Structure 1
Amino acid sequence: MATQAREYRYSDAHVHYVDFFQESEGMDSLIEVMDEVGIDHVMISGVAVAKKWDENEPKRPRYYAGDDASLYWYSATDNLVIEAVQGLPAELRQRFHPFLSGFNPNDKNADAHIRRMLETHPGFWQGIGEVFTRHDDLTALTHGDAPRANNEALHRVYRLAAEHDLPVLLHANITSKRERNPLYLGEVEGALKEHPDVRFIWAHAGTSMEIHRHQQRLDFLRPTLERLLAEYPNLHIDLSWTLLRPYLLDGKGKPREGWLELVEAYPGRFMMGSDVVGRFGGIGEKLDAFRPFLDALPEAVARRVARDNFLSILPGPSNSGKAGGLKENGPEADDP
């Protein structure tokens, strides 16, 4: 007798409403895709930087890496999110969970800016991020020192996040394009250790497409995550696209046993995100690519990863003070 195929409902934990030029297809397009794909909820944020069309470039770039022109920090991105979400009727608005991202993570004034945004739009923001720290060529094209996940400016932001019970979506590459070791891990771990009351979502667990192009698969990634998840109950993992291959699935599209075991050991700590930027037609394809991995998990775990885990880290009485809703550090605390 054939096994009935599972149908999943999703929360997309990583959606950028705009692209690197602060442009978007708009909310109507996003809602249409959500309804078509079965997405009940999305994390929605802007993009913290804007790409310059340089005087010396004859053609407008299509992506931040399209030419050598720089990027600059762009606070108005949050206002675009505010307008988009507040323009929706109430029954649709509750499906969107806005994260505030428009600040320079190297600026010790950032927490003051975030506080102003929280005060002028009370009850609107449900998280902070995506915070760009180590980010391959994006970092190289942005003026100033490379932001670190554990610098003083961000320590101030994390303290504010704890004060307001806001999760933080953090982009922090675990290594560079060339080093075959967890070069920047100490920066992420420093943030986790210093701020146990902040629920951190690590965007694609520190991987990136640029790292893959130069290094393929990082053999140290899974054992590193296993240790971090055991030691830091405030750590959550965003399984967005750069983790799918070559980590969750092998070259033949078969789920890797080690990663299945890791997610089963910590079933409340993983969530899915498309990581789209301003264009939404590809969300369904991105989420559907995870189906072989989800189907290989116990059904209750798969449904938590697909939808419920993201909702569990949002601010609210059920999560406050629990470091991500866990009762204890061990994997047994996450059992469904």
Structure 2
Amino acid sequence: MIVRALAATLCVGLLLQPCQAREYRYSDAHLHYVDFFQESEGMPALLEAMDAAGIYQSMISGIPVAKKWHEDEPKRPRYYAGDDAAAYWYSATDVLVAAALQKLSPEQRQRFHPFLSGFNPVDKNAASHIERTLELNPGLWQGIGEVFTRHDDLTALTSGDTPRANNEAMNRVYRLAAEHDLPVLVHSNITSKRERNPLYLAEIEEPLRDHPHTRFIWAHAGSSLEIHRHQTKMDFLLPTLTRMLERYPNLYVDLSWSVLEPYLLDKQGSPRQAWVDLVKRFPERFMLGSDVVGRFGSMGEQLKSFTPFLDALPEDVARKVARDNFLAVLPKAR
């Protein structure tokens, strides 16, 4: 009895860490089935990676642009930033996703929640295009996105006008999303590489204000690796995000990889208490995504890298962030 009591005391007292490590099952809130060349490892590889990583269910989308292999380039680029050739809006990405899902068994298909992304967000015809795509596959699409608006160098490389999350074309998309009860995953950088202030905040905040019946998932909380390369850390991100979560109940946050460091974890890999407190304050508003692009071997590594942060949360909140919150934001009919 004495030994058992001592063990219990150590279990509670040793830095308040649980004696037994938690095991999480995940819902991946941000996954691209194809890459920027509209190529993919395929469904067998994706299912294998999900099973190995303990990923319960997953959002799945295409990539709304395709990278051009320019006539003057002797070697095919490996990524959109591989050279200066343009990217262009590519609507067939949704066809590729739908075709891949249709080859699955009904049980396998239930694990996926497809988001429609193959439209030009600066074209006011986009909402009509989305409507037609929804009608072609009734009941298939469960969300819209990832919509690329402000997106680092990809914005400059993409042919046509600069996409903004608050333009009239997207306002039409948001209204359509509300009518069909579809969440919208939007990539909208909060600032540029060099401005140490929330330069583009209005572009995401205006839609949140003007479309209160549309559920918005803000990809990476407005951050990006390219911003981090130039700014290291945006000190204004946490207070800005706190204010927005207070003001807009239709805002949800995708905590995929670019938010992990330097925000959720410090340089030693320890959770930052201010971010832990924010998630505890809004326990239904955060979700995790791997953001893999056509290759799936790193899915488990991406999601499990959040374990120190999840372990710092109350267990019920951690499980919401890891799995339940993404499922809860899907159409109510699901």
Q: Determine whether 1:307 maps to 2:319.
A: no
Q: CA deviation at 1:146?
A: 1.2
1:43 alignment partner, SS class = strand
Tell me, yes or no, if structure 1 residue 176 matches structure 2 residue 188.
no
1:246 counterpart residue number = 262
Instruction: State the SS of the aligned residue for 1:20.
Output: coil
Cα distance, 1:220 vs. partner? 0.3
Aligned to 2:14: none
C-alpha distance in 2 between matches for 1:60 and 1:317: 43
Q: Which residue of 1 aligns with 2:132?
A: 116
Percent identity (aligned): 72
Aligned to 1:164: 180
| Equivalent AA in structure 1 for residue 25 of structure 2 | R
Distance between the aligned counterparts of 1:174 and 1:278, measured in 2?
26
Q: How does 1:307-326 map to 2 (within 5 A)?
A: 307-317=323-333
Question: Which structure has the bigger radius of gyration?
Answer: 2
Residue 96 of structure 1: aligned partner:
112
Task: For 1:232, give the aligned amino acid.
Answer: Y
Q: Indicate which of 65, 71, 76 corresponds to 2:81.
A: 65
Letter in 2 for 1:305: V
TM-score by length of 1: 0.94
**SS of 1:129 mapped into structure 2:** strand
Distance in 2 separating the partners of 1:316 and 1:238: 20
Give the secondary structure class of the aligned counterpart of 1:233. Answer: coil
CA distance in 2: counterparts of 1:189 and 1:126, whole angstroms = 23
1:130 is matched with which residue?
A: 146
Give the Å deviation of 1:187.
Answer: 0.8
Per-residue CA deviations over 1:83-121 (Å, capped at 9, x if unaligned) read 011110000100000000000100000000000000111
Structure 1 equivalent of residue 15 of structure 2: none
Aligned partner of 2:185: which letter?
Answer: L
1:49-64 paired onto structure 2 within 5 Å: 49-64=65-80
Stretches of structure 2 lacking an aligned partner (at least 5 in a row): 1-6, 12-18
Residue 158 of structure 1 aligns to a residue in which SS?
A: helix
Q: Which moves more between the two structures, 139-148 or 38-47?
A: 139-148
The alignment status of 1:42 with 2:58, answered yes or no, reads: yes
Deviating above 2 A after TM superposition, structure 1's stretches of 4 or more consecutive aligned residues are none
In structure 2, what is the Cα distance between the partners aligned to 1:133 and 1:84? 26
Measure the CA separation in 2 of the matches of 1:189 and 1:60. Answer: 38
SS at match of 1:169: strand
Distance in 2 between residues matched to 1:83 and 1:39, nearest whole Å: 22
Partners of 2:45 and 2:326 lie apart in 1 by: 22
Q: What aligned pairs does 1:118-267 form with structure 2 within 5 A after superposition?
A: 118-267=134-283
2 CA distance for matches of 1:54 and 1:105?
24
SS of 2:82's partner is: coil
Q: Which of these residues, 8, 12, 15, is aligned with residue 24 of structure 2?
A: 8
Aligned to 1:329: none
- What CA distance in whole angstroms lies between the structure 2 residues aligned with 1:133 and 1:109? 17
Secondary structure of the structure 1 residue equivalent to 2:311: helix
Shift of 1:317: 4.7
Name the SS for the 1:83 alignment partner. helix
SS at 2:241 equivalent: helix
Asked if 1:80 is matched to 2:79, the reply is: no
Query: Secondary structure of 1:276's match?
Result: coil
Q: Name the amino acid aligned to 2:146.
A: E
The alpha carbon displacement at 1:145 in A equals 1.9
